[in-house]
């Protein structure tokens, strides 16, 4: 029996392993661009003849721009050919990085970094495209590869930025990132499928609908809440760690503190394993397993910071657990509407990033207030809350149904309803 022409038009093209690898690299590069100047903040301040605090405010424009990009730019991949949308973002990012390298004042630097931050949301756009083009039975696996790139970008951006700034200066370091972004922009035009999105309605109507998605979709509400909790925990640990290690009895220099990020890299392979297992056993089990691992690591790490080997192992396990939970959790979000997942991913990542921003601020302050063990307790509490939400909430979504939860399909074109069933302990 021949397929209906309309169905054929809606069928996404197959994506090869090489395309998935490219998407992972592109997502990692895009995400990394708001981090490389952080280790060189003192050099930037000296070069511009400014205070470190003023440069810190300029660099904070990156995360602010990222939030704007999540809301305004990510939904575009549901409407237009992803290759063109992502190529344009990488191209603008390259130009903004070059402008940052040429900045002669803190004000100019902040403006350019804000544009870089907005375009760095390209990582979320790439993961949305991966969710749309991946076959349902391999969606989490492919998302795991892309998430591995994003996770590597977050960690490697700081390491590479610090090393390049020491070797060639912070301005030339930014030009290296600009050249890499320009190259990826060209590759996006040729590597990514030229298939337009299927989002209905106007662009601004789609933006206005983002808050309503949380009202209409229980899966999105639950995923965003628990994701924000564990990203809060993640950022609290890494933000608090830098403060704790810079103070007595450690008093480590910035270079040594930065090397602790290498332990986080050891957790990145967990994203690929988590993606494969999510496709096999469902998201809920993978999320719970990841949170248990991260919680145990946080508990041990709170009282073992003086033992460098144990601390590094705990950091690797902590990151591995939360990276695994993120892959499984995000796969449920992208499965709500596989034909147009970007708006759901945009809404999810906005809440997720708010949790991380709060974690960064509270993590650093809690070390001053309660010490490193107190920061670990706060982290463990956030992870426990996320685990409790997951343990007592079952979700049903396309390709992700678990247990006895039943999904009720609505008329074509309507938002997909979600059934949330409370699971009482035996």
Predicted confidence (pLDDT) per residue in 300-311, tens digit: 999 999 999 999
Q: Which residue has the tokens 């996404």?
A: 12
Looking at residue 388, its pLDDT comes to 95
Predicted confidence (pLDDT) per residue in 203-235, tens digit: 667 777 778 888 899 999 999 999 999 999 998
Least-confidence region, from 119-128, 281-290, 339-348: 339-348
Are 235 and 361 contacting, i.e. CB atoms less than 8 angstroms apart? no
Of residues 170 and 415, more confidence is placed in: 170
Output phi, psi for 38, to 5 deg.
-60, -45
Gap between the terminal Cα atoms of the chain: 48
**pLDDT at position 294 over 50:** yes
Closest CA to 15 of 198, 155, 145, 210: 145
SS3 of the chain: helix, strand, coil, percent, to 5 = 75, 0, 25
* H helix and E strand count, the chain: 17, 2
Q: How far is CA 208 from the centre of its chain?
A: 23
**Average pLDDT over every residue of 41-55:** 83
- 144: tokens are 């795991």
- 319: tokens are 């990151």
CA distance 33 to 177: 7
Of residues 89 and 206, more confidence is placed in: 89
pLDDT band at 25; cut points 50, 70, 90: very high
Are 297 and 318 contacting, i.e. CB atoms less than 8 angstroms apart? yes
Are 366 and 242 contacting, i.e. CB atoms less than 8 angstroms apart? no
Q: How far is CA 307 from the centre of its chain?
A: 30
**pLDDT at position 398 over 50:** no
pLDDT band at 44; cut points 50, 70, 90: confident
Looking at residue 204, its pLDDT comes to 67
pTM over 0.85: no
Of residues 173 and 196, more confidence is placed in: 173
Closest CA to 275 of 267, 283, 284: 283
CB atoms within 10 A of CB 304: 15
What's the mean pLDDT when you consider all of the chain? Answer: 82
CA distance 306 to 309: 9
* β-strands 419-422, 393-396 pairing: antiparallel
Supply the DSSP symbol for 137. Answer: G
Looking at residue 143, its pLDDT comes to 83
CA distance 26 to 125: 10
Looking at residue 420, its pLDDT comes to 36
Cis, bond preceding 249 (omega within 30 deg of 0): yes
**pLDDT at position 4 over 50:** no
How many Å is the maximal CA-CA distance in the chain? 74
CA distance 188 to 223: 30
Predicted confidence (pLDDT) per residue in 340-375, tens digit: 788 888 889 889 888 887 887 788 788 888 999 999
CA distance 143 to 135: 11
Torsion-angle region of 22 (φ positive above 0: left; ψ -120 to 50: alpha; else: beta): alpha
CA angle 75, 79, 82 (to 5 degrees): 85
């Amino acid at each position: 029996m021949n397929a209906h022409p309309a169905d054929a038009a809606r069928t996404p093209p197959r994506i090869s392993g090489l395309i998935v690898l490219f998407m992972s690299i592109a997502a990692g590069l895009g995400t990394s661009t708001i981090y490389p100047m952080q280790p060189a903040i003192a050099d930037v301040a000296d070069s511009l003849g400014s205070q470190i605090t003023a440069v810190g405010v300029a660099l904070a424009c990156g995360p602010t721009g990222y939030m704007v990009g999540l809301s305004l730019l990510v939904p575009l991949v549901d409407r237009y050919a992803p290759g063109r949308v992502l190529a344009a973002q990488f191209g603008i990012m390259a130009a903004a990085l070059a402008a940052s390298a040429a900045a002669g004042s803190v004000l100019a630097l902040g403006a350019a970094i804000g544009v870089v931050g907005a375009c760095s949301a390209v990582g979320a756009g790439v993961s949305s495209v991966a969710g749309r083009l991946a076959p349902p039975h391999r969606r989490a696996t492919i998302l795991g590869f892309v998430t591995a790139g994003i996770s590597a970008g977050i960690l490697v951006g700081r390491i590479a930025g610090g090393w390049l700034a020491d070797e060639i200066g912070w301005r030339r370091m930014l030009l290296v990132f600009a050249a890499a972004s320009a190259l990826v922009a060209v590759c996006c035009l040729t590597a990514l499928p030229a298939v337009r999105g299927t989002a209905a309605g106007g662009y601004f109507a789609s933006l206005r609908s983002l808050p309503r998605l949380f009202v209409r979709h229980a899966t999105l509400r639950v995923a965003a809440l628990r994701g924000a909790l564990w990203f809060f925990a993640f950022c609290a640990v890494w933000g608090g760690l830098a403060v704790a290690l810079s103070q007595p009895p450690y008093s480590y220099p910035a270079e040594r503190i930065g090397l602790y990020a290498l332990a986080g890299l050891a957790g990145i392979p967990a994203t690929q394993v988590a993606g494969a297992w999510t496709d096999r056993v469902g998201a809920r089990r993978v999320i719970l397993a990841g949170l248990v691992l991260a919680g145990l690591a946080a508990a041990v790490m709170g009282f073992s910071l003086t033992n460098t080997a144990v601390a590094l192992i705990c950091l690797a396990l902590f990151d591995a657990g939360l990276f695994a939970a993120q892959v499984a959790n995000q796969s449920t979000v992208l499965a709500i509407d596989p034909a147009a997942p970007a708006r759901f991913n945009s809404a999810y990542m906005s809440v997720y990033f708010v949790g991380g921003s709060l974690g960064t601020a509270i993590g650093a302050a809690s070390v001053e207030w309660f010490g490193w063990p107190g920061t670990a307790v706060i982290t463990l509490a956030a992870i426990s809350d996320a685990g409790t939400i997951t343990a007592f909430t079952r979700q049903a979504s396309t390709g992700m149904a678990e247990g006895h939860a039943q999904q009720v399909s609505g008329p074509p074109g309507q938002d997909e309803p979600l059934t949330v069933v409370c699971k009482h302990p035996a």
